[in-house]
Amino acid sequence: MSLILPQSLYDDLRAHGEATYPNECCGILLGNADTDALRVTQLLRAGNTRTDSAHNRYNIAPSELIAAQRQARNSGLDIVGFYHSHPDHPAQWSPTDFAEAHWFGCAYVITAVPKGHATDTNSFLLTGTTEDDKRFEPQPIVVE
C-alpha cells in the first residue's frame, strides 16, 4: 500500500513544517483509497491546537476534523491520512504519535525539520483493526 501525492501537495506539506518551525505543523490528507494505494488529491492545513508543548506535540481539533470530513464527503473523497512535522527530530513516529493514531488504513506522514529546513518525509500506514493489534507499517511515498 503506497501513498501517492502530487508534487505540489508533497511540497506544500513540507513547506508547512518549515513555516511553523520550531513548532509542529499538522494537517489532513483527502483523497481516495484503492486496493494498493492511497491517492491524495487535497491537503488541509490544520491549526496546531496544542498549547502546552507545540514543539513536540500535535493535535487536530475535533471541529477541524468534522469540517474535513464534510469537505471530503462533498467532494467525493475520504480522509486518507494525516501529516505533521518533527522539528529537530527524525521522521520516525513517536510513542505519542502511535498512542494517538486511531484511523486504521490511513497514512501518517512525518517530515523532519532540522533547523527549520525540511529533510526526510516518511509515511506510516496504520494497520490492524483494534487498539490491541494496531501497527505502524512504513509505506512508500510516490510523488508524481
* Complex with Zn ion: residue 64 or 97, whichever CB lies closer: 97
Q: CA 57, CA 62: separation in Å to the nearest integer?
A: 16
Site for Zn ion (CB under 5 A): which residue of 16, 97, 108, 111?
Answer: 97
* Complex with Zn ion: residue 25 or 79, whichever CB lies closer: 25
**Number of residues located near Zn ion, criterion CB under 5 A:** 2
Q: CA 106, CA 91: separation in Å to the nearest integer?
A: 17
Query: Are 3 and 140 spatial neighbours (Cβ–Cβ below 8 Å)?
Result: yes
Instruction: In angstroms, give the least distance from the CB of 69 to Zn ion.
Output: 22
Q: CA 36, CA 121: separation in Å to the nearest integer?
A: 20
Per-state percent for the chain, helix, strand, coil, to nearest 5: 25, 40, 40
- By CB under 5 A, residue 64 contacts Zn ion: no
Instruction: In angstroms, give the least distance from the CB of 94 to Zn ion.
Output: 5
Give residue number: closest CB to Zn ion: 97
Instruction: In angstroms, give the least distance from the CB of 71 to Zn ion.
Output: 24
Query: Are 18 and 116 spatial neighbours (Cβ–Cβ below 8 Å)?
Result: yes
Residues near Zn ion (CB under 5 A) are 94, 97
